Amino acid sequence: MNIEEIRTYCLSKPFVTESLPFGDDTLVFKVSGKMFLLANLDGPLSINIKASPEEVLDRLEHYAEVKPGYHMNKVHWVTVDMSQITDDDRIRQWIDRSFELIVESLPKSQRIALKNGEKQNS
């Protein structure tokens, strides 16, 4: 997947916003104001995505393209070197999981509002 495919996929999810809060070289995708994916725009493409602690350990052990989350909490985030990716479906699943983890962490009222199609302020 290239950056445009990642961008299109992330923006296809409900109530996702994109921004450049860390400068012109890092594209950030959020739901209800919480980050679920960061992508570098300068140099070789890599993405930071959230995962459960168990998923982080599994991905680090089994996938050479996965490293501990760059500038992120390494218990909950991984960095994926997109130049080594041969399975786009796996990346889509990992993006989906990152999105789900953020939605699950939201207060119940926000989860219900998102489920009902009510946009939250971010």
Cα–Cα distance for residue pair 97/21, rounded to 1 Å: 23
Query: In what helix (H) or strand (E) does residue 49 lie, and over which residues does it extend?
Result: strand 46-50
Per mean pLDDT, which range of 17-26, 59-68, 87-96, 105-114 is the poorest? 105-114
* pTM of this structure: 0.90
* DSSP 8-state code for residue 82: G
| pLDDT recorded at residue 121 | 53
Question: Dihedrals φ, ψ of 49, to 5°?
Answer: -135, 150
CB neighbour burial string for 80-92, b if at least 16 within 10 angstroms, e if fewer: bebeeeeeeeebe
Query: In what helix (H) or strand (E) does residue 6 lie, and over which residues does it extend?
Result: helix 3-11
Q: Which of 54, 47, 49, 35 is nearest to 106 (CA)?
A: 35
The per-residue pLDDT for range 21-79, each reduced to its tens digit, is 999 999 999 999 999 999 999 999 999 999 999 999 999 999 999 999 988 989 999 99
Question: Domain residues of the chain, as ranges?
Answer: 3-115
Given pLDDT bands bounded at 50, 70 and 90, which one contains residue 13? very high
Cα–Cα distance for residue pair 69/79, rounded to 1 Å: 5
Pick the CATH number of 3-115 from 3.90.1150.30, 3.20.20.140, 3.90.180.10, 3.40.50.620: 3.90.1150.30
